[in-house]
Amino acid sequence: MLNFYYITVLRDPVSRYLSEWKHVQRGATWKTAAHVCDGRPPTSDELPACYAGEDWAGVALADFTACTSNLANNRQVRMLADLSLVGCYNATGASEPQRGRALLASAKANLRRMAFFGLTEFQRKTQYLFEGTFGLRFLRAFTQANNTRAASTGVGEEVRQRIAALNAPDVELYEFARELFQRRYRAQRQRERAEERRRLRRRRWQRERRQRKQYRSFLSRVWRRGGGEEGEEEEEKEEDEEEGRGEMGEEMGDGTTTEDYSSQVVRW
């Protein structure tokens, strides 16, 4: 039986928005996206087009932000949330703030339930969490690419603030995701360190047991040379009991408790 998991990688909302704008400016469209919700696509009244013609190539940033039906707005919240909660793309049933709050709460809940998600600004930590969650190893280390198209747009701080305000739900979701991501990262590190301590204790216990066994073997040989055979059976019994205590201690661990997100994942 196969197990499927939804995973995602989130990005800083302003950088993501600027990146999509540059993508659309070069002629990209989302014409093949059906946007099906509750079994049907949105009507043209529910989701008006932002442009006429084949594409929106060459669009200025001011025009891109001015279109209220632009799906670049708060895309991360919308793609993580259950749109059925707000009537899909029909915005007549609730005010925009109400829709935004409902979608944001849904996106946070769905993100929390995901066994794994990553952040583009933390590539190495994202790789570390993915490998720890699914028990897999990448052949190459992730690289942090900061020289992106969004970083080279050269927009001013005032424009960035306007984009952040336009994408306020995405901004709040991202702050939530960053905090959750760091908690999961710390929990994974704690589990890893606890496992390493258990391995070290196990090796130390095995080494000490070998040393005690060698010493008892030496005493046994000395005892036999002196003509005594009593006590050998008792020594073997004590050794078996000691081995059982060591294994029991290993199973109990060191008492470290962490939030085990990887318990959601079926190992295969």
The string of pLDDT tens digits covering residues 164-217 is 999 999 999 999 999 999 999 999 999 988 888 888 888 888 888 888 888 888
Average pLDDT, the chain: 86
The string of pLDDT tens digits covering residues 57-106 is 999 999 999 999 999 999 999 999 999 999 999 999 899 999 999 999 99
Quote the pLDDT of residue 258: 42
Residue 15 above 60 pLDDT? yes
Using only the alpha carbons of the chain, give its radius of gyration.
30
Residue whose entry in the numeric block shows the structure tokens 């990887």: 262
Residue 129's φ and ψ, nearest 5 degrees, are: -70, -40
**C-alpha distances in Å from residue 87, one per residue of 72, 80, 99, 159, 265:** 19, 15, 9, 32, 32
Query: Is residue 177 a contact partner of residue 119, using CB atoms and an 8 Å limit?
Result: yes
- H or E, element range at 188: helix 168-225
- 193: amino acid identity, one letter: R
Residue 37's φ and ψ, nearest 5 degrees, are: -140, 130
Query: Is residue 265 a contact partner of residue 5, using CB atoms and an 8 Å limit?
Result: yes
Quote the pLDDT of residue 224: 82
Distance CA 114, CA 181 (A): 11
Distance CA 82, CA 33 (A): 17
Reported confidence tier of residue 10, pLDDT bands at 50, 70, 90 = very high
CA angle 56–59–64, rounded 5-degree value: 95
Structure tokens at 208: 């000490």
The string of pLDDT tens digits covering residues 120-144 is 999 999 999 999 999 999 999 999 8
Query: Is residue 107 a contact partner of residue 81, using CB atoms and an 8 Å limit?
Result: yes
Instruction: State the maximum Cα–Cα separation within the chain, in Å, rounded to a whole number.
Output: 105
